[in-house]
């Protein structure tokens, strides 16, 4: 079901820049010659300014100077800045969410949810600012104290992707700031207004709290800017979100200069549906995870592994639900599926559908482009369902679009093997009412992913849990739990208060 009212380029551009202005962006200062296209209508929002790669050197230099001051500020005082940022985000939630919709095409409820994630991580980081705990150990030497302490790391480079243009920055920045680090952000080229608005709100929070404003830097530009940030010797940690292909380049380059990297890369996420599954709940979980954000989340569900006893009924119900999905202008109330980000995403989806057919797949729902007459320069698609005889090469590859592969299993061990038999390892889910199956799935013998869910879909992580995955997903962890340790360095301290000098392991070196 498609919705044909698509805003004009003039209306959309004016609305976007007005929303940015209300968030504190100096619109005149960010104007430029770089084309800036909205996926909502495929037309330009207006020209913006891009920075040259040389701007990275300047940004890192400013961040390094600010770091020397910021690292000495008590962590609870650093937390006060993040608290104020959360308050400002709440005040400007609607405008920032609107920018997310204008620039990357998210439906309003998901855009608002993304800004809420930013607010939530500020709450989390505020509490964390009083909980950067080390530990004390027992020394084998009398009159000695052995302990571990954690210290700020330095400048953190953040590279974010279009699909979460503001939330991923906030996950990194809120944690990095309370840890005493400074941040240089290279946002997605698709969402510069989102970046300038977010950074402007942080700058206001820093000013109001009397903190050095240079702890936060933004460099907007193309791949050359990202490469300069990755290679810069003054960047202690590079936190990069994107494709596995991107991660294969970033990881070795950062390692080559002995920097640290935190990689959040591709996903190829599956749901196992057991014979005992509540199919009403399962249906809702699958449809949101597979079709939400037009299939453009790293946690998007791309595979459903159904027990043969429920396969026919669930497939029929999925096909019927997909036929009712409202597709169109993401700002229209009731729309559930917005546009793909660009033509390349559409072409990749079409190519994947063709390969799936070559490898024995059968298209049972969707797959076609819609709204082409109303928005000839935008790319809206009907989310697709393809039944597959098994897990072929195309199924093992991530296609960043709403394309769901459905296959069957007979034995639970077989289902787990199918879940794990992909290069990626981000998110997974099991729908079951069998407690034993649930326990196996979350055990070492179950899913090999970083996120392992039972009776919920693969999307929709909360900020309290560490977010990330294994294998070609990169192994990084952001947001909650003890993810803060990635942004700090650990020191092992031995304090001798005995007045003597006994050596460890009983070594005698008397002179």
Catalytically active residues are 264
Spell out a b/e string for 144-172, using b for 16 or more CB atoms within 10 Å of the CB, else e: bebeeebebbbbbbbbbbbbbbbbbbbbb
The DSSP call for residue 455 is: S
How crowded is residue 232: how many other Cβ atoms within 10 Å of its Cβ?
A: 21
The residues facing 363 across adjacent strands are: 386
User: Taking Cα atoms as reference points, which of 170, 211, 79, 182 lies closest to residue 132?
Assistant: 79
The β-bridge relationship of strands 403-409 and 424-425 is: unpaired
First to last CA, the chain: 87
CA distances from 294 to 74, 94, 148, 271, 289 (A): 43, 21, 46, 18, 10
* 3-state SS class at 332: coil
DSSP bridge pairs for 174: none
Alpha carbon distance 331, 338 (integer Å): 9
Query: In angstroms, what is the C-alpha Rg of the chain?
Result: 24
For residue 175, the Cα-to-chain-centroid distance in whole angstroms is 15
Return d(Cα 113, Cα 111) in angstroms, integer: 5
Distance, CA of 326 to CA of 341 (rounded, Å): 18
Q: What is the residue-wise DSSP string for 343-390?
A: HHHHHHHHHHHHHHHHTT-EEEE---EE-TTT-TTS-EE--EEEE-SS
Cα separations in angstroms, 503 against 499, 507, 508: 13, 6, 7
Is 371 buried (19+), middle (13-18) or exposed (0-12) by CB count in 10 A? buried
DSSP assignments along 379-422, one per residue: -EE--EEEE-SS--HHHHS--SSSEEEEEEESSHHHHHHHHH-S
Helices (H), 183-325: 192-208, 223-231, 244-256, 279-291, 308-323
C-alpha 317/C-alpha 67 separation (Å) is 55
Q: Which of 230, 405, 213, 215 is nearest to 306 (CA)?
A: 405
Please report the sign of the dihedral spanned by the C-alpha atoms of residue 390, residue 396, residue 399, residue 402: positive
């Amino acid at each position: 079901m498609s919705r044909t009212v698509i805003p004009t380029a003039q209306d959309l551009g004016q609305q976007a820049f007005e929303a940015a202005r209300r968030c504190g962006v100096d619109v005149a200062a960010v104007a430029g010659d770089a084309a800036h296209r909205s996926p909502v209508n495929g037309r330009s929002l207006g020209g913006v300014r891009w920075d040259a790669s040389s701007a990275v050197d300047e940004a890192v230099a400013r961040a390094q100077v600010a770091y020397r001051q910021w690292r000495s500020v008590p962590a609870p005082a650093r937390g006060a800045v993040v608290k104020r940022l959360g308050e400002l985000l709440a005040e400007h939630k609607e405008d920032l969410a609107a920018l997310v919709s204008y620039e990357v095409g998210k439906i309003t409820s998901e855009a608002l949810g993304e800004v809420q994630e930013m607010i939530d991580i500020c709450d989390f980081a505020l509490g964390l600012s009083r909980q950067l705990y080390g530990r004390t150990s027992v020394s084998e030497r009398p009159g000695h104290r052995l302990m571990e302490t954690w210290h700020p790391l330095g400048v953190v480079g953040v590279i974010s992707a279009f699909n979460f243009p503001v939330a991923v920055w906030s996950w990194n920045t809120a944690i990095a700031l309370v840890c005493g680090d400074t941040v240089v952000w290279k946002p997605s080229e698709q969402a510069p207004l989102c970046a300038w608005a977010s950074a402007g709100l942080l700058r206001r929070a820093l000013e109001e709290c009397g903190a050095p404003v240079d702890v936060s830097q933004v460099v907007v530009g193309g791949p050359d800017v990202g490469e300069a940030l990755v290679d810069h010797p003054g960047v202690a940690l590079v936190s990069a979100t994107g494709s596995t292909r991107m991660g294969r380049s970033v990881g070795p380059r950062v390692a080559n200069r002995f920097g640290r990297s935190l990689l959040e890369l591709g996903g190829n996420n599956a749901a196992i549906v057991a014979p005992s599954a509540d199919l009403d709940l399962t249906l809702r979980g699958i449809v949101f995870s597979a079709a939400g954000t037009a299939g453009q989340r790293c946690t998007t569900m791309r595979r459903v592994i159904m027990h043969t006893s429920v396969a026919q009924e669930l497939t029929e119900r999925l096909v019927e639900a997909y036929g009712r999905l409202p597709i169109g202008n993401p700002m229209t109330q009731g729309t559930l599926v917005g546009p793909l980000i660009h033509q390349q995403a559409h072409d990749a989806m079409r190519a994947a559908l063709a390969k799936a057919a070559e490898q024995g797949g059968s298209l049972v729902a969707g797959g076609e482009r819609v709204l082409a007459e109303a928005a000839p320069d935008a790319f809206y698609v009907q989310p697709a369902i393809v039944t597959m005889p098994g897990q072929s090469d195309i199924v093992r590859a991530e296609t960043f679009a709403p394309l769901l592969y459905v296959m069957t299993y007979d034995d639970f061990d077989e289902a787990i093997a199918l879940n794990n038999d992909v290069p990626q390892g981000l998110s997974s889910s099991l729908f079951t009412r069998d407690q034993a199956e649930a326990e196996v799935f979350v055990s070492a013998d179950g899913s090999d992913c970083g996120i392992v869910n039972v009776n919920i879909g693969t999307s929709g992580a909360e900020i309290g849990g560490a977010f990330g995955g294994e294998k070609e997903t990169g192994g990084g962890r952001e947001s909650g739990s003890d993810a803060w340790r990635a942004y700090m360095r650990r020191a092992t301290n031995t304090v001798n208060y005995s007045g003597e000098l006994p050596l460890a392991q009983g070594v005698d070196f008397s002179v």
